[in-house]
Amino acid sequence: MTAETMDIMERAEMLPIDMKLELVDRLLESIGPTQKEIDELWKVEIERRVEEVRSGRVETIPGEQVFAEIEERFGK
């Protein structure tokens, strides 16, 4: 860890809890997509998969068959 990073960490530790939480939120937003963006991506993916099933491009497998294959392969 660099001296500059250590300085930032020490200063952040002195902040009141509400400011720490705001800082954490901002840092997390800066390194990854927001929940809203993730939700939108999932919505697009779900719509794509539903369309594939409805159009017949993919074939579904009954849940009972899936679980039976899992049990057969991995046991209980």
Q: Please report, in tens digits, the pLDDT of each residue of the chain (76 residues total).
A: 899 999 999 999 999 999 999 999 899 889 988 888 899 999 999 999 999 999 999 999 999 999 999 999 998 6
- Distance between CA 43 and CA 46 in Å, rounded? 5
Q: For 58, what's the count of Cα atoms within 13 Å in the CB-facing half-sphere?
A: 8
Place of tokens 């074939």: 59
* 8 and 41 together in one domain: no
The domain tally of the chain equals: 2
User: Alpha-carbon dihedral of residues 57, 63, 65, 71, nearest 10 degrees?
Assistant: 130
* 40 and 21 together in one domain: no
Whole-model pTM: value is 0.49
* 72 and 44 together in one domain: yes
Residue 56 belongs to what domain range?
Answer: 34-76
| 10: its two tokens | 């020490």
* 25 and 45 together in one domain: no
Place of tokens 């990854």: 32
| 48: its two tokens | 């794509």
